[in-house]
A and B are shown apart, each in its own frame.
Chain A
Amino acid sequence: MTYNWDWAILVREPFLGWLIAGTGLTLAIAGLGWAIALTVGVIVGIGRTVANRPIRAASAIYVQVFRNIPLLVQMFLWYFVLPELLPTAWGHWLKRDLPAPEFWTAVVALGLFTAARIAEQVRSGIRTVPQGQTQAALASGLRATQTLRLVVLPQCFRIILPPLTSELLTTIKNSSLALTIGVLELTAQSRQIESNTFHGFEAFTAATAIYLAIATLVRLAMRRFEAGRSMPQAKQAPPMALREA
């Protein structure tokens, strides 16, 4: 194989600028998508645990629909199908007047998809908080909503913080699917560098390194966040290590 290695291409303009712009868009899509996912996910997750049947059913349907359709298909549905289904004026607005429609579509699709997954974590987190906690809170005169907000949810979030971290990392990686509807995020920019220069190895190595760096920073940040919010349980033996006799 004769391949002309040229790592310098990564710091040459315009390619360096492309990588930086791509990284920025990746972070923006993941960050905004995550904000939507957390908001919607927490609401839907709580909705799955309330006594009200219609709310519970609606929340369950949301989770089923958004969790079981591939994210790629959801991106296409939001971008190509939705504008045609809406009243004409709205469709035109989505296609023509909304600035950067592909970017916002990617944010919404990623956010609503991830929300379904977060909702499931919130639901199981709420279930993990012992019933006695709820009873104690109610017995002290707190209302149901106060009990949820002050006693149940704070414990729920501490319990689900590790899986939430991994969900956030997945969201950052899933943002790369935005390239299929034309967002020039990090992966798309790497491809563009490849087709302009035929230096695919260098371009994708750079993308890989940047994804890894982002993930490492997120993990470190979440670990610090977690450490400040530990919740020691009394009388809890550490898990027994299984080993062969």
Chain B
Amino acid sequence: MNATVSVAVASSTEPVLAQAPLLRIDGVGKSYGTVQVLSGCTLDVQRGEVVVICGPSGSGKSTLIKCVNGLVPFNAGRILCDGVDVGLGRQVDLVRLRTRVGMVFQNFELYPHLSVLENLCLAPVHVLRRPRSEAAERAHQLLVRVGLPDKAGSLPGQLSGGQQQRVAIARALAMDPIALLFDEPTSALDPEMVGEVLDVMVELARDGMTMMVVTHEMGFARKVADRVVFMDAGRIVETGTADGFFSEPTTERARGFLSRILSH
């Protein structure tokens, strides 16, 4: 949390708008009845930054990134994302925000009744009102980019898990987002398919895409993460560089977590 304070101070002393964080999560809390899922989460994400969020299951990682694009409402604090106050939850603003911040889900969530091409065109055509031919052309480019140029006509159910997740990434990119949220993108994959998905994500990161990634893939974190955020019991417990976090975690809970996931 100290890291975020210093970032905030830095941006306030330099009056350059471009340096305002793309995303500011400020003291966000969420509870379901008496169960507190998130409390006091504070985090800034700069443009072009790749932030990896890790932590034990049930620690609130997925809930936190779903708060960012308003999929999950929160009860306390404030989230400013690309100038939109997410907590106010005005439908108009949320739609605008979601067209700019894409999301990739653990279970892909491709639309099973639509072809791969239609999956990529749905939101561009119906939300951005792009002409169909333009959306299709862009979709074909993106399928080339994720290495699936010949799958445009397939149905999602005919693809492997790794291929589906690559299509899902292409679908998110079809909206030309300024940032992408990943919710455990490789957790539902067979081990041999994790690599192909991570390769696409590494390439995205290198191209300068702003990314918030909930994942346990420590290799990915080391390779591209600018920062690693460790969450436990709904709180952000530790924030640091990937190297710093993995080699010298400062909190006991992070050490325990790392020893458990790195031991196998």
Contact = CB atoms under 8 A, between A and B. Distances in A.
Our verdict on whether A and B bind, yes or no, reads yes
Interface string A119-139: 000000000001011011111
B161 A135 contact: no
Interface string A137-171: 11111110010001100110010000000000000
Given A151-B111, A231-B155, A231-B157, A136 B105 contact: yes
A155 B103 contact: no
A27 B155 CA distance: 37
B123 A142 contact: yes
Interface string A213-245: 000000000000000010111111000000000
A234 B98 CA distance: 27
Nearest to B154: A232
Nearest to A155: B113
B98 A138 contact: yes
A146 B123 CA distance: 10
Contact of A135 (B71, B111, B158, B171): B71
Given A141-B98, A142-B123, A136 B103 contact: yes
A146 B102 CA distance: 18
Contacts of A141: 95-96, 98-99, 123, 127-128, 175
B111 A140 contact: no
A155 to B, nearest CB: 5
Given A142-B127, A234-B156, A234-B161, A136 B109 contact: yes
A130 B156 CA distance: 15
Interface string B37-64: 0000000000000000000000000000
A140 B157 contact: no
Contacts of A154: 113
A132 B69 CA distance: 15
Most A CB contacts (10 A, CB to CB) among B110, B111, B164, B171 go to B111
Interface in B144-194: 155-161, 164, 171-172, 175
B242 interface: no
Contacts of A231: 112-113, 155, 157
Contacts of B254: none
Nearest to B96: A141
Contact of A235 (B99, B113, B155, B161): B161
A234 B156 CA distance: 7
B228 interface: no
Contacts of A235: 161
A129 to B, nearest CB: 10
Nearest to B122: A150
A151 to B, nearest CB: 6
A231 B127 CA distance: 24
Contacts of A142: 122-123, 126-127
Contacts of B141: none
A139 B70 CA distance: 8
Nearest to A131: B109
Contact of A233 (B122, B123, B128, B157): B157
A73 to B, nearest CB: 40
A46 B87 CA distance: 28
A234 B99 contact: no
A135 B105 contact: yes
Contacts of A146: 126-127
A162 to B, nearest CB: 16
A234 B161 CA distance: 8
Given A136-B111, A155-B113, 14 more contacts: A132-B109, A138-B71, A139-B71, A140-B103, A140-B172, A141-B98, A142-B122, A143-B91, A143-B95, A151-B111, A154-B113, A231-B157, A232-B158, A236-B157
Interface of B: 66, 69, 71, 91, 95-96, 98-99, 102-103, 105, 107, 109-113, 122-123, 126-128, 155-161, 164, 171-172, 175
Q: Which 10 A-B pairs have the closest CB atoms?
A: A232-B157, A136-B109, A140-B123, A141-B99, A141-B127, A139-B103, A141-B98, A132-B109, A234-B157, A231-B113
10 contacts: A132-B107, A135-B66, A136-B103, A139-B102, A140-B99, A140-B122, A141-B123, A146-B126, A231-B157, A234-B157
